[in-house]
Structure 1
Amino acid sequence: MSAGTEEPFHSVDVSSITRSPLRATLRTPDGVPIEAVFESCTGREDGADGGPGPAGGTGTAIVVAHGFTGAASRPAIRRAARVFGSRAGVVTFSFRGHGGSGGRSTVGDREVWDLAAAVAWARELGHTRVVTAGFSMGGSVVLRHAALHRPDPRTRADAVAAVSAPARWYYRGTAPMRRLHWVVTRPAGRLVGRYGLRTRIHHRDWDPVPLSPVEAVPLIAPTPLLIVHGDRDPYFPVDHPRMLAEAAGGNAELWLEPGMGHAENAAGVGLLGRMADWLVAA
């Protein structure tokens, strides 16, 4: 289960479009339909002072990549979208195998193509600057996407924020990660994923193993990079963000958040606002 050589992004097939907010089905290079939602900025930065309305924008758009078992419609992602939307246009989407998207989750591998489709759509809507914010699995995806798509003007990210992202694959050092590996790797676990967690997981192992987040980070520069992590994250201890920041070689800003847990569910309004300000200004 691998994307193999990372292909250039081919096309976005936008269909089933409605307005206010704008909804679309995007098509990845391997043919997976991805549900996506665009919402214009509610503040002064984009669209509130006579600028573009729900059909598009001209300033910054933030593309939000959720964590494993999340979706565009989940409350934590909707909260992030509301906060980000006060500073910029926002695209939310569901990774393959999640929410209303097709396919099956590859747990961070081919999801890079899903994110690329969402970034390309934001640019098609007229945004001159597109940045990404990812949580947990989505954090690993935004890092890999930023490295692999940096040369492509259509699908690249202009700034990147990774929250609660792992530094390396196959980490089993905490009880939550051991449970997650059982869900992903065992037939009974994938049944729990499908019916209990509403996540369809691919049954094949990675072959070859994709570029890891810590291997991707040195390739991101000079794109601005923000790494955010809670000091009470039950999944990944703080050696993960420190490893990522060190690998960035001075290109990354690291925020270790006191008392914060894991990913979008633990990201409060204040932190999301600071992230949005950083992404817009970076």
Structure 2
Amino acid sequence: MSSVSEGRFRSSSVPLITRGPLRTTLPTDDGVRIEAVYDPCTADDGAGGPVGGGGTAIVVAHGFTGSADRPAVRRAVEVFSQRAAVITFSFRGHGRSGGRSTVGDREVLDLAAAVAWARSLGHTRVVTVGFSMGGSVVLRHGALYTDPATETEDAPPVAEREGRTEARTEAHADAVVSVSAPARWYYRGTAPMRRLHWMVTRPTGRLVGRYGFRTRIDREEWDPVPLSPVGAAALIAPAPLLIVHGDQDPYFPLDHPRMLADAAGGAAQLWLEHGMGHAENAADETLLTRIADWAVTS
């Protein structure tokens, strides 16, 4: 596994001469190193060769207990890479990444590192696609990491309003897709979410997470509580936002995506998918293709 040096990413560190995926390790702004995978677009560039830098890159943020190598994530990559280059990564505490999971808080730094890597490779447009926990992370990332060209002088950066200062201009997303995300923190209204809270908050639960799901969970509570997904959704415009949710989601009922869409004030598109369950495991090829088409044309 190759490693990108601290600080600026070197565009030459990823030779885009083959279609195969390239693996690397990315440093986050708080010093955690995360594994990441780059899959070039499988479409031709018009000269019969693989598409390299430039154009759109889709950055995929997996759900809690997932990783860059989970079959459902790789299935999404296979579909997305027919339309654009794709970067996947494992959140802190997941897969081969370092650190411990904070279940959606510091994970925004992991996503920012992946987006900045995409831009360092020459991609001029970056779309983030997140599932479940990753869906909440892409929403908050979209609010915290903004395009400098859209900022106004009379409003401080959102990162400062949340008490953070690490937002980097090269780490912003040009469009955001949130799939199966919660609208609010601490939701315990369904049995799966009550089990998840037990795993996150109890010592025995964290042992189950570590050895049963290969997820290392931080024992510290959030301080401060991060910007909520519904609060973030209201701050993403003018970047395009797509909210996708299944009507058979066992984790978050339909009031969650509707709250997110309402918070966006009409600036978001809402897709309520008939028969769909939860997150990347429930996203079939047809839906993934529609998401990829939206990502490259929005």
1:32 maps onto 2:48 in alignment: no
Give the match for residue 296 of structure 2. 280
Cα deviation, residue 13, structure 1: 5.9
Q: For residues 14 and 295 of structure 2, what CA distance do their matches in structure 1 show?
A: 27
Give the match for residue 89 of structure 1. 85
Give the match for residue 54 of structure 2. 58
Q: Relative to structure 2, which stretch is displaced further, 251-260 or 15-24?
A: 15-24
Q: For residues 13 and 42 of structure 2, what CA distance do their matches in structure 1 show?
A: 24
Percent identity over the alignment is 73
TM-score normalized by structure 2? Answer: 0.87
Does the aligned pair in 2 maintain the 1:160–1:224 contact within 8 Å? Answer: yes
Deviation track 1:217-268 (CA, whole Å, cap 9, x = no partner) reads 1110000000000000000000000000000001100000000000000000
1:69 maps onto 2:65 in alignment: yes
1:112 maps onto 2:112 in alignment: no
Instruction: Name which of 212, 222, 226 aligns with 2:238.
Output: 222
Q: For residues 217 and 256 of structure 2, what CA distance do their matches in structure 1 show?
A: 25
Q: For residues 165 and 12 of structure 1, what CA distance do their matches in structure 2 show?
A: 31
Give the match for residue 259 of structure 1. 275
Q: Cα 1:145–1:227, aligned 2, differ >3 Å: closer, same or farther?
A: same
Unaligned runs of at least 5 residues, structure 2: 1-5, 148-167
Corresponding residue pairs, total: 269
Does the aligned pair in 2 maintain the 1:22–1:39 contact within 8 Å? Answer: yes
Q: For residues 176 and 272 of structure 1, what CA distance do their matches in structure 2 show?
A: 24
Give the match for residue 241 of structure 1. 257
Instruction: Name which of 156, 175, 179 aligns with 2:172.
Output: 156
Give the match for residue 123 of structure 1. 119
Does the aligned pair in 2 maintain the 1:26–1:36 contact within 8 Å? Answer: yes
Does the aligned pair in 2 maintain the 1:217–1:247 contact within 8 Å? Answer: yes
Q: For residues 200 and 193 of structure 2, what CA distance do their matches in structure 1 show?
A: 10
Q: For residues 16 and 188 of structure 1, what CA distance do their matches in structure 2 show?
A: 42
Q: SS state of the match for residue 80, structure 1? A: helix
Q: For residues 158 and 92 of structure 1, what CA distance do their matches in structure 2 show?
A: 17
Q: Cα 1:259–1:16, aligned 2, differ >3 Å: closer, same or farther?
A: same
Q: Which amino acid is the alignment partner of residue 35 of structure 1?
A: E
TM-score normalized by structure 1? Answer: 0.91
Q: Which amino acid is the alignment partner of residue 74 of structure 1?
A: R
Does the aligned pair in 2 maintain the 1:230–1:256 contact within 8 Å? Answer: yes
1:271 maps onto 2:267 in alignment: no
Instruction: Name which of 123, 130, 133 aligns with 1:134.
Output: 130
Q: Which amino acid is the alignment partner of residue 31 of structure 2?
A: G
Cα deviation, residue 11, structure 1: 3.6
Q: Cα 1:171–1:12, aligned 2, differ >3 Å: closer, same or farther?
A: farther
Q: Cα 1:223–1:280, aligned 2, differ >3 Å: closer, same or farther?
A: same
Does the aligned pair in 2 maintain the 1:41–1:48 contact within 8 Å? Answer: no
Cα deviation, residue 153, structure 1: 3.8
Cα deviation, residue 48, structure 1: 6.5
Q: For residues 14 and 185 of structure 2, what CA distance do their matches in structure 1 show?
A: 37
Does the aligned pair in 1 maintain the 2:42–2:50 contact within 8 Å? Answer: no
Cα deviation, residue 17, structure 1: 6.6
Instruction: Name which of 158, 172, 195 aligns with 2:211.
Output: 195
Q: Which amino acid is the alignment partner of residue 214 of structure 2?
A: R
**What are the equivalent positions in structure 2 for 1:202-221 lying under 5 Å apart?**
202-221=218-237
Does the aligned pair in 2 maintain the 1:11–1:29 contact within 8 Å? Answer: no
Does the aligned pair in 1 maintain the 2:125–2:174 contact within 8 Å? Answer: yes
Q: For residues 229 and 204 of structure 1, what CA distance do their matches in structure 2 show?
A: 30
Does the aligned pair in 2 maintain the 1:11–1:117 contact within 8 Å? Answer: no
Q: SS state of the match for residue 154, structure 1? A: helix
Does the aligned pair in 2 maintain the 1:132–1:142 contact within 8 Å? Answer: yes
Does the aligned pair in 2 maintain the 1:167–1:244 contact within 8 Å? Answer: yes
Instruction: Name which of 66, 73, 80 aligns with 2:76.
Output: 80
Give the match for residue 3 of structure 1. none
